[in-house]
Amino acid sequence: MTKSDMKSAVNFVRDSVAWSLSGGLGYQLYLGILMLFMVLGLYAYSVQTSQGLAATGMSDIVSWGLYISNFTFLVGVAAAAVMLILPAYVFKDKDLHRVVIIGELMAVGALIMCLMFILVDLGGPERAWHLIPGIGLFNWPSSILAWDVIVLNGYLALNTLVPAYILFCHYNLRKPDERKYRPFVFLSIFWAFSIHLVTAFLYEGLPARPFWNNPLLGPRFLASAFAAGPALIMLALALISTFTSFKIEKTVFNKLRIIAVVAAIINLIMLFSEVFKEFYIPTHHSESALYLFFGLKGHASLVPWIWTAVSINLAATIILALNPGKNHPLVLFPAAALLFIGIWIEKGVGLIVPGFIPSPMGEVVDYSPTWVEICITLGVLALGTFVVTLLIRPALVIEERFALQEGSHHHG
């Protein structure tokens, strides 16, 4: 690295930090609120640290709860960036190419949240170094959790390095060298599928849990992620388009809508197939599904959640498919929000917890998160949103500067 490279790298970081923090009162207020939630999460985590995981609602029967549920859902959000990367880089879609950076940076935020959710779920976070190959002992390839550590960190690296390189070039007002980053883009496309499949295999690979031990789990993870992810990206783009000078074309939203609809329909078909298998001739293996949808032995805490999720999934898919408002923001964005929330509930509440109920010994208990768990979860979500915001803001400034210079080149 030459001295001038070094200097421009320092300038790049310095300006990015300055841009990420600059904004009007509304923006500062927004960052302040996020920080408030982060402090709340930190306080709750200090309570969890002093009491142990007993401060959560988890037990020896339901041994994973809100943290791992959110982790699983957010892996899908991270993977969904591929739904922009694929058309933007492979099919050279101009509209999506303009916003692909936003998808990539959202993936970075989602991955940071994933890793945080794993960390807060650990009984001995201070011993997490036991996982690091070389100084620890890494049970690879046997443990799927070991695989997950690799694919998540690898995807985080890919989604950090590619945008960082492109933004660095654009910051210096030069075109990035496609030969340099294209191989990594292709790698990240395969990697996106792998993060969500491997995460599904964590559950799918356990014969102890018949509810998860189902070959449809992996494909269904992908389908639901490719519906929820673009729905979230749509909402983020709408916010950016409203509150910043970075304007986004209507065609972008239409393309994202079509991607989300196709994925949502595939997801619903697979859900129907699962429900059919569980209830046509119910076996002992259907008891978790029975608990989830109808309740079991007098315990039914998840029943309202799953029916809400299924109903709003269905409603949102129909609205997005028929598109009655012709992409009108007042129809499109609420529908996208519904789809996102529906899948969040379905994945978050309806997948992890019922896998543990009934226990392998047939015991049924309910799980409900404590305030500590809820506050830590809010804190991690706020942290992720904070990171995404601080990454996207300078990225957009750099992109706009570059686009302006490109435009003046073409005219001049």
Contacts with other proteins, residue ranges (CB under 8 A): 50-54, 56, 58-61, 63-64, 118, 121-128, 130-131, 136-139, 142-146, 149, 202-203, 206-209, 284, 287, 355-356, 358-363
Nearer to other proteins, 53 or 82 (CB): 53
Tokens 């969040």 map to which residue? 344
What is the smallest separation between the CB atom of 191 and other proteins, expressed in angstroms?
20
Cis peptide before 358 (omega within 30 of 0): yes
Q: Measured from the CB of residue 362, what is the shortest distance to other proteins in angstroms?
A: 2
- Smallest gap, in angstroms, from Cβ of residue 121 to other proteins? 7
Q: State whether residue 296 is helix, strand or coil.
A: strand
Q: Residue 36 corresponds to which tokens in the numbers above?
A: 């408030």
CB of 153 to other proteins, least distance (A): 13
Instruction: Give whichever of 68 and 169 is closer to other proteins, judged by the CB atom.
Output: 68
Q: How far is CA 262 from the centre of its chain?
A: 19
Nearest distance from residue 243's CB to other proteins, in Å? 40
Per-residue DSSP letters for 180-222?
HHHHHHHHHHHHHHHHHHHHHHHHHT-TT-TTT--TTHHHHHH
CB of 129 to other proteins, least distance (A): 9
Closest CA to 120 of 346, 359, 348, 374: 374
Tokens of 30: 């927004």
- State the minimum distance, in angstroms, from the CB of residue 169 to other proteins: 38
Output 208 or 330, the one with its CB closest to other proteins: 208
SS3 assignment, position 25: helix
Please state the closest distance from residue 359 (CB atom) to other proteins, in A: 5
CB nearer to other proteins: give 43 or 138.
138
Please give the structure tokens belonging to residue 53.
């995981």
Closest CB to other proteins among 61 and 331?
61
The smaller minimum CB distance to other proteins, of residues 57 and 394, is found at 57
Whole-number minimum distance, CB 52 to other proteins, in Å?
4
Q: Torsion-angle region of residue 337: left (phi > 0), alpha (psi -120 to 50) or beta?
A: alpha
Contact between residue 345 and residue 71 where contact means Cβ atoms under 8 Å apart: no
How many residues are given for the chain? Answer: 412
Query: What DSSP letter does each residue of 99-112 carry, written as one string?
Result: HHHHHHHHHHHHHH
User: Of 50 and 245, which CB lies nearer to other proteins in the complex structure?
Assistant: 50
For residues 125 and 329, which CB has a smaller minimum distance to other proteins in the complex?
Answer: 125
3-class secondary-structure state, position 248: coil
Cβ closer to other proteins: 111 or 352? 352
The beta-carbon contacts of 267-272 under 8 Å, at least 24 apart in sequence, are 267/220, 267/223, 267/224, 267/227, 267/313, 267/343, 268/313, 268/314, 268/317, 270/216, 270/219, 270/220, 270/223, 271/220, 271/310, 271/313, 271/346
At its nearest, how many Å lie between other proteins and the CB of residue 138?
Answer: 7
Q: Between 130 and 180, whose beta carbon lies closer to other proteins?
A: 130
Respond yes or no on whether the N-terminal peptide bond of residue 133 is cis (omega within 30° of 0). no
